């Protein structure tokens, strides 16, 4: 993909993402009915699971790209992993803040050390470690490899988070959309709002992931030029 095509893709994804997000806000605050048991605070759920979905997507990319990076050593995979980890950190933070905001009203407490919440917090710390390892290792190449190992190990936490509500005694509500017994067990308008939320977050994620990956490519190209002034070596696009 050329630089021009990449910029177009980022622009289109960003515009669609912001537009879908505005539609989501309209649906959440003016269209969808208030849930009968939880009341107004249930509206947090139109962003909370969507944030976790893109966080898992980001960390999934980290795990996959890190594993292949360790195997092939391709710099593009390392850059994709870093962009995925940035996305994962941002959206995990959103999930970790919006969850307690709901919990304070529904459970009467901001935080409980129950399996899903604890595993989710561990995931956040694992990827914080991913960035710390990259920054603090004296040899940058070694730092990238160490971070890739952390990225691969970290992704193993995701299935545990998913099954924790069914396998372990948990306070966290069970899955609504991916519940094997009654999938998509939602009123139609709520289901639609949920879907728009997932779409908006996915578009925003795709736009920012691509932007971060592209900028990392430019930075890498500059670094190569600094290391090899006058040379014609060029980073892979």
Partner 1 sequence: MARKWFSRWTTAFLLGVLLFQASPVWAQAGTVLGRQTLGRAYWHVFAAYAVMWILVLGWVVSIVRRLRRVEERLGKE
Q: Which is nearer to partner 1, 51 or 80 (CB)?
A: 51
Question: Nearest approach, Cβ of 223 to partner 1 (angstroms)?
Answer: 10
CB of residue 90 to partner 1, shortest distance in Å: 5
Q: How far apart are CA 125 and CA 88, in angstroms?
A: 11
Q: Which of 66, 86, 168 is closest to 119 using CA atoms?
A: 168
Nearer to partner 1, 77 or 204 (CB): 204
Query: Is 96 or 126 the residue whose CB approaches partner 1 more closely?
Result: 96
Rounded CA separation 207/15 (Å): 9
Minimum separation from the CB atom of position 163 to partner 1 (A): 26
In the bound state with partner 1, the residue whose beta carbon lies nearer, of 27 and 150, is 27
Contact footprint for partner 1 (CB under 8 A)? 25, 29-30, 34, 36, 38-41, 43-44, 47-48, 51, 86-87, 90, 93-94, 97-98, 101-102, 104-106, 204, 208, 211-212, 215, 218-219, 222
CB of 38 to partner 1, least distance (A): 6
3-state SS, residue 39? strand
CB–CB of 78/220 below 8 Å? no
The closest alpha carbon to 196, from 63, 41, 16, belongs to 16
Q: How far is the CB of 93 from partner 1 (least distance, A)?
A: 6
Q: Which is nearer to partner 1, 93 or 185 (CB)?
A: 93
Q: Which residue has the tokens 């519940």?
A: 179
- Residue 58 Cβ vs partner 1, minimum distance, rounded to whole Å: 11
Nearer to partner 1, 67 or 128 (CB): 128
């Amino acid at each position: 993909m050329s630089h021009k095509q990449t910029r177009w893709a980022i622009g289109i994804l960003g515009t669609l993402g912001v537009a879908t997000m505005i539609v989501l806000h309209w649906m959440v605050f003016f269209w969808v009915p208030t849930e009968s048991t939880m009341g107004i605070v249930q509206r947090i759920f139109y962003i909370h699971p969507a944030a976790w979905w893109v966080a898992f997507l980001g960390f999934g990319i980290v795990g996959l790209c890190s594993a292949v990076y360790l195997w092939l050593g391709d710099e593009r995979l390392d850059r994709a992993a870093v962009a995925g980890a940035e996305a994962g950190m941002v959206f995990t933070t959103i999930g970790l803040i919006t969850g307690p905001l709901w919990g304070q009203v529904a459970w009467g407490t901001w935080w409980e050390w129950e399996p899903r919440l604890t595993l989710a917090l561990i995931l956040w710390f694992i990827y914080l470690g991913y960035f710390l390892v990259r920054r603090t290792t004296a040899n940058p190449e070694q730092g990238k490899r160490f971070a890739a190992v952390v990225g691969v190990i970290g992704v193993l936490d995701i299935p545990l988070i998913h099954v924790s509500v069914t396998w372990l005694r948990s306070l966290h509500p069970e899955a609504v959309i991916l519940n094997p017994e009654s999938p998509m067990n939602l009123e139609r308008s709520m289901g639609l709002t949920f879907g728009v939320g997932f779409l908006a977050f996915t578009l925003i994620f795709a736009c920012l992931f691509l932007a971060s990956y592209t900028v990392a490519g430019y930075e890498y190209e500059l670094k190569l030029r600094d290391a090899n002034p006058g040379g014609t070596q060029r980073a892979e696009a």
